[in-house]
Amino acid sequence: MKLNINFLQTSGVPLTNDLMATIMEAIKFHDVLGDIVGHLTIVSGGDLVAGSTTVVNPGVVAINGELLPFEGGTIYPNVFIHTQDFTETFEDQTNKVLVQKKMVKFGDSPVVFPWTGFLKLQTLREMQISLDGKADQSDLDDVIERLEVVELKTAPIINGGIVWIWNLPVVDIPVGWKECTDLRGKTVFGRNPDDDTFSDLGNTGGNKSIIQTLEQMPIHSHTYTRTLPWSGGGGGFDGGGNPF
């Protein structure tokens, strides 16, 4: 509501109940800021007093959509909304509440709010500085494109279909990985759909050792020469190395 009241006029300004109600309605529009900043938000103040670790400055906080003054003081686990009524005597000589003042204070009450639940709102300047240091949409698009390539290439790892050689003890396997016990003592062969031995995935076979029988050996022959040792009689060599 845009409200412009021209009080600076002659002949007396009529301060009627309707006028004051309109003024209050306009003032209440500022509470929309409480919805904007969010529940349990420190809008201003609420910082530690210089040199103290237990006392905070007064300020303004938002609770349930209302902007309320905050008293500050020594930190306590909870805060509550303290309401104080101011009574005035009306023309008919009756006393009625004319002003109601709310203040957020540390302490306990039937309805409390944890102090640790409050968040200090950054200033617009701080937000802008923070945004200037963030990636823009172009940077984000580039990261997404690169991430999609990484996800494509690492899909076999993510779905558990990759087995790699590990050259360190089992206890040193990184977090997120585990030993593939299915391959212990085995040799991996590639699948060949045209070979009955290797046509099905997961097949195992073979032995670490085997005794070969004569029936399994191919026909073969060998040639060799043998030099008999000299027995010391019946012959020898002359000085030229010739036998006699």
- Residue 90 within a domain: yes
How far is C-alpha 71 from the geometric centre of its chain's CA atoms? 36
Question: Does residue 155 belong to any structural domain of this protein?
Answer: yes
Predicted confidence at residue 46, as pLDDT, reads 94
- 244 lies in some domain: no
Residues 110 and 63 in one domain: yes
User: Does residue 238 carry a pLDDT above 70?
Assistant: no
SS (H, E, C) the chain: CCCCCCCCCCCCCCCCHHHHHHHHHHHHHHHHHHHHHCCCEEEECCCECCCCCCEECCEEEEECCEEEEECCEECCCEEEEEEEEEEEECCCCCEEEEEEEEEEEECCCCCCEEHHHCEECCCHHHHHHHHHCCCCHHHHHHHHHHHHHHHHHHHHHHCCCCCCCCCCCHHHCCCCCCCCHHHCCCCCCCCCCCCHHHCCCCCCCCCCCCCCCHHHCCCCCCCCCCCCCCCCCCCCECCCCCEC
- In a domain, residue 212? The reply is no
Do 44 and 116 belong together in one domain?
yes
| 25 and 118 inside one domain | yes
Residues 142 and 114 in one domain: no
Give yes or no: residues 60 and 139 share one domain: no
Question: How confident is the model over 58-62, as a mean pLDDT?
Answer: 96
Does 226 map to a domain? no
Contacts of 62 (CB under 8 A, 6+ apart): 33, 34, 37, 38, 39, 40, 41, 43, 68
pLDDT computed for residue 91 by the predictor: 85
Of 204, 219, 239, which marks where a domain is finished? 204
In a domain, 118, yes or no: yes
Do 113 and 145 fall into the same domain? Answer: no
| pLDDT tens-place string over residues 182-237 | 888 888 888 899 998 888 888 888 888 888 888 888 888 888 887 776 665 555 55
Pair (118, 140) in one structural domain: no
Q: Do 61 and 99 fall into the same domain?
A: yes
Only one residue has tokens 């968040």, namely 119
- Within a domain: 231: no
Amino acid at 37: V
Domain count, the chain: 2
Kindly indicate the confidence band of residue 159, based on its pLDDT and cuts at 50, 70 and 90: confident
Higher-scoring residue by pLDDT: 116, 166: 116
Please tell me which residue, 26 or 193, carries the higher pLDDT value.
Answer: 193
Residues 74, 57 contacting (CB under 8 angstroms): no
Do 110 and 34 sit in the same domain of this protein?
yes
Domain end marker among 124, 145, 177: 124
pLDDT above 70 for 35: yes
pLDDT at site 69 = 95
| Distances in whole angstroms, Cα of residue 161 to Cα of each of 34, 149, 155, 170 | 53, 18, 9, 19
pLDDT of res. 188: 82
Same domain? 21 vs 118 = yes
Confirm whether 192 is domain-assigned.
yes
Q: Which domain holds residue 172?
A: 134-204
User: Average pLDDT for residues 17-39, to the nearest whole number?
Assistant: 86
Tokens for 19? 């006028």
Is 119 found in the same domain as 24? yes
Residue 171 token pair: 């206890």
Q: Looking at residue 113, what is its pLDDT? A: 98
Chosen domain end from 124, 142, 174: 124
Considering the domain architecture, whether residues 171 and 79 belong to the same structural domain is answered as no
Query: pLDDT tens digit string along 78-127?
Result: 999 999 999 999 888 999 988 899 999 999 999 999 999 999 988 889 88
- pLDDT value of position 96: 92
